[in-house]
Structure 1
Amino acid sequence: MEYKETKETLKASNTKPPLFKSIIALYLWIGMIQFNILVLVVVAAFFLPIRIGASILALLVLLRLIPINPKSKFGSKVARFISKNAYGYFPITVHLEDEKAFDPDQAYVFGYEPHTIFALGAWALTDRAGITPLPKIKFMASSLAFNIPVLRHIWTWLGCVPVTRKSFIKHLAAGTSCITVPGGVQETIYLERDSEVAFLNSRKGFIKLAIEMGSPLVPVFCFGQSQAYKWWKPNKTILKKVYDAIKYPLVLYWGRFGSPIPFRVPMHIVIGKPIQFKKNPQPTYDEVNELHAQYVAAMQELFEKNKAKYGSKDLQLKLL
């Protein structure tokens, strides 16, 4: 998919990719989760003869052990195919409050909200997508994804890295900006149908890392993402217990025709101005809290200032 720049908006061209290509791209991108867990594992374990089921499970383990080459030519082709056909499916539009505020030689920490079922819009900000003016940007995703066969290769090719402290420091030190979703998958526990939820009040680790590395903090909000899936979840108390046990909330979700393919809804990602501060390898408790408060306030302002503009005038943002 080609991208064009207008004043302070970077967006997809008006030409939509063929639907069948979009579906293939979306399935490779996010459908592999269900394919591995629901189809292969469940079917192999409970519905196939023991020998065949064991062979399938052994194959999954083998695929899990195959090393990942982030610079693979084949991987680059897969990533280009997904970027061209998946992001244009919605489509996704990126709006910069102030493009001139960004230095291409500077590494930034992008705090993206909301997570909802999947942080679909965040992927469009990576260097693989080529929309933003920054040449090197990685998306910090749940480490759990890098244990899922095939998916781990695809997400790596798409510019995704595990959300660990070591990975964060490594990429920021190399001049690569990092996109993180502070609320993470835990946000899905608190999903509401009539409001956006950002689980931010206790999430300060990324703030501390930003100060340690001297990487300006950037608030980012995606409008429209919450409409990409329908969902059902059990009682919040039960959901919390499940999350505490397996570190993943069991929320049932579905898209078009009950499949993992999301509904075709336009998304608008608004990137705020970078919050500048003084680098400190050993930030104090007060420094972290002060920058966290600035970030939360900037996120609220970004949401309120843009919600009517991008079709969400009656929506409320709840900070938890």
Structure 2
Amino acid sequence: MAIEFAPRSVPLERRLQTVAVLQWVYSFLALAQTCIILFFALLFTRFWIISVLYGIWWFTDWDTPREGGRRSPFLQNHAVWRYVRDYFPIKLVKTADLDPRQNYLIGFHPHGVLVAGGFTNFCTYATGFPELFPGITPYLMMLPLWFRAPFFRDYIMAGGLIPSDKESASYLLRDKKGGKAVVVAVGGAPESLDARPGAFTLLIKNRKGFIRLAIQHGASLVPVFSFGENELFDQVDNPRGSFLRKMQERLQKMMGVALPLFHARGVFQYSFGLMPYRRPIHTIVGKPIKVTENMTPSDEEVDKLHKLYMEELSELFEEHKTQFNVPADKHLSFV
């Protein structure tokens, strides 16, 4: 296979975009592990006091991720995220207003491999969320596992991330003042195993926990579809039932994280690597679905709202797909 190298004449702006995305990919794939190694390594140096003091701080700060975290507007508005946005580029599209006097549970689809649209739109100011939805503060949910990594937990909390568990979401949705939007990638890590160009398979049929949570707190549901999310990486073929897929699913159940074998381009060449392709992402925020509060919803009530949510999500996809070069015969597949 001939390797296609990047030309020397690449403009500085594009080089900065590549560097910005490189640090983001590193942060997603390896920063937590680096922080864990650093924490323990410091214990065997003359700087051991840093880890000891952090350990004390960590113990006293243990519940913060589940109580809304500790976001940093400075980090969320940093210029590096604008370079990340422009690399693809990523655009956030509003279709309806969100009342800041209410709380919302936003369902993000699809998960993709690295949730690029979800992170850039809801954890940074780069695509203009505060201007599009004034008075609304988004909180993107992430696997609780990552909040157990020293140093890394503080970094992701600064971006507005919270653990993907019921307690963390409930803490925010109980706020009667409103203005809270909990963002959940409904398909979760397992859905990333289906993330490849041209794929529109969503893992949602048996995912009803977010629906029940919305009813219990009377939080309006907002479907979101991110066109282009699955176009960023190729993935080794792993059809359902194949040996590779069974191994991936087994590891996912054991470790809590999925391990898609993805690839795209590199930093200095375009033929292979873990850098995403430069392909546009358009994240469409649908209209809110009004939910009546009920602390003890029946299964029938949950099923009815779940069906309505899937219908609204399908309608959102069908209404906008032709704008983003999705063939007319392509439709969402719910599994």
- For Structure 1 versus Structure 2, the TM-score category normalised by the shorter chain is 0.7 to 0.9
Say how many residue pairs are matched.
292
Contact preservation (8 Å) 1:195, 1:316: no
Q: How does 1:46-85 map to 2 (within 5 A)?
A: 55=41, 62=51, 65=55, 67=58, 75-81=72-78, 82-85=80-83
1:118 aligns to what SS in structure 2? coil
What is the distance in 2 between the residues matched to 1:58 and 1:293?
Answer: 56
Change (3 A) 1:57 1:293: farther
SS of match in other structure, 1:139? strand
Give the 3 Å change call, closer, same or farther, for CA 254–149 of structure 1 in structure 2.
Answer: farther
Q: Contact conserved, 1:36 with 1:149, CA < 8 A, in 2? A: no
Kindly tell me: are residues 196 and 277 of structure 1, through their superposed partners in 2, closer, same or farther at Cα, counting changes over 3 Å? same
Q: CA deviation at 1:124?
A: 3.5
Matching residue of 2:93: 95
Q: Map of 1:46-195 to 2, 5 A cutoff?
A: 55=41, 62=51, 65=55, 67=58, 75-81=72-78, 82-99=80-97, 102-126=98-122, 128-129=124-125, 130-131=128-129, 132-134=132-134, 135-174=136-175, 175=178, 176-191=180-195, 193-195=197-199
Moved over 4 A (4+): 36-41, 56-59, 61-72
C-alpha distance in 1 between matches for 2:151 and 2:199: 34
Q: What's the CA shift for 1:146?
A: 2.0
Kept in 2: contact 1:216–1:274 (CA 8 A): yes
Whole-Å separation in 2 of the counterparts to 1:212 and 1:96: 26
Partner amino acid, structure 1, of 2:260: V
The normalised TM-score by structure 1 is 0.79
1:164 CA displacement: 1.0
2:30 maps to 1:35: yes
Distance in structure 1 (CA, Å) of the matches to 2:44 and 2:27: 17
| Structure 2 residue corresponding to 1:267, chosen from 268, 277, 281 | 281
Q: 1:62 to 1:311 in 2, by over 3 A?
A: farther
Deviates more, 1:16-25 or 1:244-253: 16-25
Of 313, 322, 325 in structure 2, the residue corresponding to residue 311 of structure 1 is: 325
Q: Which residues of structure 1 form unaligned runs of 5+?
A: 1-15, 45-51
1:240 to 249, 260, 263: 249
Distance 1:17 1:177, change over 3 A: farther
Percent sequence identity is: 24
Structure 1 range deviating more: 76-85 or 86-95: 76-85
Q: Distance in 2 between matches of 1:38 and 1:178?
A: 26
Distance 1:148 1:107, change over 3 A: same
Deviation at 1:262, TM superposition (A): 1.9
Q: Which residue of 211, 218, 222 corresponds with 1:218? A: 222
Deviation at 1:89, TM superposition (A): 2.1
Contact kept in structure 1, 2:198 and 2:230, CA below 8 Å: no
Match of 1:198 among 198, 202, 209: 202
TM-score calculated relative to the size of structure 2: 0.76
Q: Indicate the residue corresponding to 1:287 in structure 2.
A: 301
Matched-pair contact (CA < 8 Å) for 1:116–1:191: yes
Q: CA deviation at 1:21?
A: 3.5
Query: Counterpart amino acid of 2:13?
Result: P
SS in 1 for 2:254: helix
Cα distance change on mapping 1:173 and 1:83 into 2, 3 Å? farther
Structure 2: gaps (5+ residues): 1-10, 239-243, 267-271
Alignment partner of 1:244: what SS?
helix
> Match for 1:79: what amino acid?
Q
Distance 1:57 1:120 in 2: 35
Q: Displacement, 1:218? A: 0.7
- Is 16-25 or 299-308 further displaced after alignment? 16-25
* Secondary structure of residue in 1 paired with 2:204: coil
Q: Does residue 1:22 correspond to 2:37, yes or no? A: no
What is the CA–CA distance in structure 2 between the aligned matches of 1:187 and 1:39, rounded to whole Å? Answer: 26
CA–CA separation in structure 1 for the residues paired with 2:12 and 2:156: 21
Q: Which deviations, in whole Å up to 9, do the C-alpha atoms of 1:69-88 show, x marking residues without a partner?
A: 9657xx54333224322223
1:189 to partner: Cα distance: 2.9
CA RMSD between the two structures: 3.2
Query: In 1, are the aligned partners of 2:197 and 2:231 still within 8 Å (CA)?
Result: no
